[in-house]
Amino acid sequence: MTTNEKIYSGKTKDLYALPNDNILLVFKDDVTGENGVIDPGANTVIGQVEGKGRKSLAMTDHFFKCLHAAGIPTHLVRLDLDQASMEVRRAEPLGKDINGKGGFEFICRTRPWGSFRRRYQNYIGDTVSTLDYLVEITIKDDERGDPLINDDTIVALGLLTRQHLEQAKDLTRQVCRIVESNLADKGLSLIDMKIEIGFIDGQVVVIDEVSADAMRVMDSDQKVLDHGVLYEKLIG
């Protein structure tokens, strides 16, 4: 693994270039959070949890199998749970800036929660309890706090065509419904989730991961599950 060229080091994964032009994603045990509290949506690494990387990969394997069964394309080639690594096809992430950095995260919400509730608390009240797979798009930019970007801005800046934007949003909703259904079979409820999307040979596909690092899930008592508990519910 170390003989391959490292091309990027992120908060939870390292990326290596493979000789066959694919990419090797190596999942790390690092966790993000704020003020000592683990939060997968945060931008700061606050420590490590042993085995967390392998668990994230196992959950990604679980959900990618669900997506593939439903005909949803991903960039996965093969994975190695023992090495916490996943070989993927090289993709062009949607929303890269002129320096080839950044990219979009597509967030699908089933109900008001977290930052959404903080932003719109004066408008939600007691009447808005569901959001019907609302899709929001943020820019991956830690320095600016992953700002929201709206559809018209994306098109105006030439970051995506209107057609590709609608394809990506539809794909996000499809993924959300599949994950939600799988969790419901286990007595769990999906609050919200985020995915990354890219182009491979002109096709829009799901890239990166689909795990507890990228979603909020609660049990029948409306308790939000942490990473390890969700892993046990899904894989354990």
pLDDT value of position 1: 45
Direct distance between the N- and C-terminal alpha carbons of the chain, in angstroms, rounded to an integer: 27
pLDDT value of position 10: 84
Domain that holds residue 186: 5-234
Q: How many domains does the chain have?
A: 1
Q: What is the CATH number for 84?
A: 3.30.470.20
pLDDT value of position 23: 97
Indicate if the pLDDT at residue 194 is higher than 50: yes
Q: What Å distances lie between residue 116 and 24, 35, 83, 107, 192, CA to CA?
A: 33, 21, 36, 11, 10
Polymer length in residues for the chain? 236
Place of tokens 């694919």: 22
Q: What Å distances lie between residue 58 and 16, 27, 64, 174, 175, CA to CA?
A: 20, 10, 10, 21, 17
Exposure string for 75-93, b = 16+ CB within 10 A, e = fewer: bbeebeeeebbbbbbebeb
Q: Which sign does the torsion angle of CA 156, 162, 139, 17 carry?
A: negative
Q: Report helix, strand and coil shares of the chain as percent, to nearest 5.
A: 30, 30, 40
pLDDT value of position 99: 78
Q: Which pTM does this prediction carry? A: 0.92
pLDDT in tens, 10-57: 888 999 999 999 999 999 987 776 776 666 666 677 677 889 999 999
